[in-house]
Amino acid sequence: MRRFQRVLVANRGEIALRVFRACRELGIGCVAVYSEVDRDAIHVTRADDAYLVDAYLDHDQVLGAARKAGVEAIHPGYGFLAENAAFARRCAEEGFVFIGPPPDAIDAMGSKIRAREIMLAAGVPIVPGTTERVTDPARVIELGDRYGWPIALKAAAGGGGKGLKVVAGPDEAERALEAAQREGQSYFGDDAVYVEKYLADPRHVEVQVMADTHGSVVSLHERDCTLQRRHQKIVEETPSPAVTPAIREQLGAMAIAAARAVGYVGAGTIECLMDTSGDVFFLEMNTRIQVEHTITEMATGIDLVREQILVAQGAPLSFAQDEVVLRGHAIECRINAEDPTTFLPSPGRVTRYREPAGPGVRVDSALQEGGEIVPQYDPMVAKLVVWDRTRDAARARMRRALDEMVVEGVATLIPLHRLIMEAPEFARGETCAGLVENVWPAQIEAARVAMVPHAFATPARGGTYIAEVDGRRFEVRLHVPEDPVLAEARGRREARRAAGSAGGGLGAVVSPMQGTVLKVEVADGDAVTAGQVIAIVEAMKMENEIVAPRAGVVEGVAVAVGQAVGAGQMICVVSGE
């Protein structure tokens, strides 16, 4: 078995720090790369060496940094280069160990269409749908009529909800197909799209697998990732409250068969859907470490990132299947820099940051006071993870940890996570379908509007105020116009109301967030209906549709494709008919 002396981590944020920690415990030196906007990022200061690159996806520059640093291996983390077979091949050609699966396995599972074909041949059940590329809206309509509406359009090279569009009926087919193709090309360089039957209210259950070069493939059991918004995971837990021992055994067998079918090595995740009858179907394979690997580590006691590195060095797995036991219950909350009522991105400077602590609490984060959350990257900025002996005890621990966690200067999903942990539907282990999109954000907004400013308070550090009532001390936040953070949040809400309230105001259509215009759907003089898409703005790797506030005629289109826009910036006006 070879031993690495230095490893380059081709990623940023909390996952870069996570890999650094595993390397240091193994006595391995750590090298970082960073983009211009990440010059002051915490992962840069925590590395032994760091090299500037134009982009994390630039193969030549990342490999050039690896050569300069004298590393033996490259860990891609997740995202960016983690599922890029071409990059994995370049690593091998230039003498670097790619800490991940073989390029052929990445290729096999990188195309969701090809993966479905391989799973069928391996006897692994797949969600009903096509195993060929779909390019014609008429074909989409034909398939929708066959499987029943709604159906799902998916980018063949997609993942993480990118390139996934749910089509409610024939009238949405053309726009949805175009959007899925555009996202596939934008995010993955491949505009191929296929169709799946849309399963109503399914469980999103995934299985962690580890495989070595000596023929061992092991299942580390399931994680439940059902609680999502726009197909982006928000809360994950293990074990799943809906998986029985029999289903767990079936899931494990499916996952091992899937991994063996492509000659898999390293850490990977088999994602599945479970319908209301308890039937499970292969969805896709993520050929990398997952964001939510943390909860599997907490529940099994196995360090997955360390295991990745050891396997890449040629070592056999340090555990056998019968040694993998789920003990207790673990929950992860993704702390995204997003408004919890609208999920609009909230880049900016962190003015105050405090992490929770105590038994069974883990925080994977790259946040720091004074640090900047930049709009160019994913909005997930930290992961809060807890473990306890039972699910109810873990929920209580998560509530306590969320109460301790402080992130000021930007909006985050922490208020939503608090509400989720208290919700009776989540407590009962339900799928909570529709609650994230429609119910819980409205409850947070109602509570926000109901807040009454305190009249007597004195300022303390970090925008917090100290008030005393009958000798009792209270720590409060004052919502006053002079606070620039609150003023910005209020401006976003006003922009949102102007852009989204049918029949209201002057018909102004403005961008509710900072981002880049991907598409302008209208021109001056066009007649539009209320809710019709005016433009699409990308912010923090998410596409956001900006819609007409009412029926009318478009006037004064003020943006163009590729243009950067700020929160509240005018896009056009829709005058009354």
The three state secondary structure string of 225-257 is EEEEECCEEEEEEECCCCCCHHHHHHHHHHHHH
Q: Is the pLDDT of residue 549 over 80?
A: yes
**How many Cβ atoms from other residues are within 10 Å of residue 521's Cβ?**
17
> What's the CATH number for 128-197?
3.30.1490.20
Q: Per mean pLDDT, which range of 107-111, 118-122, 203-207, 503-507 is the poorest?
A: 503-507
pLDDT at 535: 93
Tell me the C-alpha to C-alpha distance, in Å, between residue 389 and each of 199, 326, 327.
33, 11, 7
Q: Where residue 230 falls among pLDDT bands split at 50, 70, 90?
A: confident
Taking each helix axis from N to C end, the angle separating 137-147 and 173-188, rounded to the nearest 10 degrees, works out to 110
Whether 107 shows a pLDDT value over 70: the answer reads yes
- Decide if pLDDT at 555 tops 50: yes
State residue 457's pLDDT score. 42
**Higher pLDDT, residue 552 or 487:** 552
Residue 427 pLDDT exceeds 70? yes
For residue 513, name the pLDDT band (cuts at 50, 70, 90).
confident
Residue 540 has pLDDT above 70, yes or no: no
pLDDT at 459 over 50: no
The arithmetic mean of pLDDT across residues 416-439, rounded, is: 95
pLDDT at 3 over 50: yes
Of 176-180, 298-302, 397-401, 426-430, minimum mean pLDDT range: 176-180
What CATH number labels 497-575?
A: 2.40.50.100
pTM above 0.85, yes or no: no
Task: Look up the CATH architecture of domain 6-99.
Answer: 3-Layer(aba) Sandwich (3.40)
Each residue of 132-141: pLDDT tens digit? 999 999 999 9
pLDDT at 196: 93
Same fold, 203-445 and 497-575: no
Q: Locate 384 and state its tokens.
A: 């809060």
d(CA 167, CA 171): 9
CA quadruple 432, 435, 441, 443: dihedral, nearest 10: -100
Tell me which CATH homologous superfamily contains domain 203-445.
Answer: ATP-grasp fold, B domain (3.30.470.20)
Judge contact between 227 and 432, C-beta under 8 A. yes
Q: How confident is the model at residue 514 (pLDDT cuts 50, 70, 90)?
A: confident
pLDDT of amino acid 541: 65
Mean pLDDT of the chain: 90
Question: What pLDDT does residue 23 have?
Answer: 98
Mean pLDDT of 486-502: 46
Radius of gyration in angstroms for the set of CA atoms belonging to the chain, rounded to a whole number: 24
Pairing of strands 527-528, 552-555: antiparallel
Alpha-carbon distances, residue 212 vs 56, 76, 106, 220, 369 (angstroms) = 28, 18, 15, 14, 40
Phi, psi of 339 (to 5 degrees): -65, 125
Average pLDDT on 513-517 reads 82
CB atoms inside a 10 Å sphere around CB 375: 21
Q: What is the DSSP letter of 381?
A: E
- For the chain, which residues make up each domain, given as ranges? 6-99, 128-197, 203-445, 497-575
pLDDT over threshold 50, residue 92: yes
* pLDDT tens-digit map of 186-200: 888 899 999 999 998
| Tens digit of each residue's pLDDT (9 = 90 or more) over 375-403 | 989 999 999 999 999 999 999 999 999 99
State pLDDT tens for residues 46-89.
999 999 999 999 999 999 999 999 999 999 999 889 999 999 99
**For residue 395, what is the DSSP state?**
H
Instruction: Please give the pLDDT value at position 499.
Output: 44
Helices (H), 242-303: 245-261, 293-300
* Pair of tokens at residue 477: 């936040």
What's the pLDDT score for residue 484?
A: 43
Check residue 451 and give its pLDDT: 56
Q: What is the pLDDT of residue 501?
A: 40
What does the pLDDT look like over 316-371, one tens digit per residue?
999 999 999 999 999 999 999 999 999 999 999 999 999 999 999 999 999 999 99
Please give the pLDDT value at position 448: 78
79: tokens are: 């995202």
pLDDT of residue 255: 98
